[in-house]
Amino acid sequence: MLATALTVSSLAMADEQHWSYEGDDGPTHWGGLCNSGKNQSPVDLRDAVSAKLAPLSFKYQSLAQDVFNNGHTVQVTYAPGSELTVDSHRYQLKQFHFHAPSEDLLNGKRFPLEAHFVHADEDGNLAVVAVFVEEGAANAALEKLGKDLPVRAGDKHDLVVKVAAAELMPKTRDYYRFSGSLTTPPCSEGVNWLVLKHPITASEEQIEHLHAAMGHDNARPVQPLNARIIVK
């Protein structure tokens, strides 16, 4: 319980620190592990090595509590009860948030939007499931969120409609896996990254609405792989 609490606190540190995506407070000036780390995220997913990865098991419930604009992204907080299992290891869904454009690349391709589902196990270890979003048919979950998106930094809205996180995932859930970091300060490493191969769609209007709510691009530049291997 203590480790999980510390993990949640370390995630909150990113909201409290003064940093941005441009200018004198931009990514090249974040400092610490953000500059010195060797296992940083995001990455360009290319030259992945084939492996027999265990299927991801999602047991998500419609337990979204609120949507929060922290000045860097729009984040949906989840109550306990939604679970991800990876290699028989269980993680609880804490929140999901968005980056526009996508932070990770797929063979050099950047998507207009990427969703990150942040999970923590009982010891505070993090697993992030990333989902690419491409322009196409409207998404039901984003349609529900669209009615409640806070457009000013610091604003938080309780969700009056049930938002199912599973609605923001493709039906086919093959994935890429690598060891990385938080993509925002303090850029802590040791994060288990699981990037789904297949994108979901959202309408042009939905993508623009989310981007407008965040007020700016919020994608950290791609980081070098160094000695890491991406498996699929």
pTM comes to 0.93
Distance CA 180, CA 39 (A): 5
Distance CA 26, CA 35 (A): 12
Chain segment 16-70, per-residue pLDDT in tens: 568 999 999 999 999 999 999 999 999 999 999 999 999 999 999 877 889 999 9
Would 232 be classed as within a structural domain?
no
Number of domains in the chain: 1
Would 184 be classed as within a structural domain?
yes
Cis peptide before 150 (omega within 30 of 0): no
Would 157 be classed as within a structural domain?
yes
Would 121 be classed as within a structural domain?
yes
Would 91 be classed as within a structural domain?
yes
Alpha carbon distance, N-terminus to C-terminus of the chain: 32
| Residue 72 annotated in active site | yes
Q: What is the CATH number of the domain that holds 187?
A: 3.10.200.10
Would 56 be classed as within a structural domain?
yes
Chain segment 176-207, per-residue pLDDT in tens: 999 999 999 999 999 999 999 999 999 999 99
Would 225 be classed as within a structural domain?
no
33 close to 189: Cβ distance less than 8 angstroms: yes
Predicted confidence at residue 16, as pLDDT, reads 59
Domain span including residue 83: 2-214
Cis peptide before 42 (omega within 30 of 0): yes
Asked whether the predicted pLDDT for residue 3 surpasses 50, the reply is: no
Would 227 be classed as within a structural domain?
no
Give the CA distances from residue 85 to residues 129, 169, 174, 199, in Å, rounded to whole numbers and listed in that order.
11, 15, 14, 21
**Token representation of residue 113:** 């939007």
Residue 90 backbone zone (phi > 0: left; psi -120 to 50: alpha; other: beta): beta
Burial class (CB in 10 A: 0-12, 13-18, 19+), 107: exposed
Helices of type H across the chain: 2-16, 33-36, 140-146, 204-214
Asked whether the predicted pLDDT for residue 136 surpasses 80, the reply is: yes
Confidence of residue 4 (pLDDT cuts 50, 70, 90): very low
Query: At residue 110, what is the residue type?
Result: R
Mean pLDDT of the chain, nearest integer: 92
Write out 118-162 in H/E/C secondary structure: EEECCCCCEEEEEEEEEECCCCHHHHHHHCCCCCCCCCEEECCCC
Other CB atoms within a 10 A radius of the CB of residue 49 amount to 8
Q: Which residue of the set 29, 72, 157, 209 is catalytic? A: 72
Contact partners, residue 29, CB within 8 Å, separation at least 6? 19
In the DSSP assignment, the letter for residue 180 is E
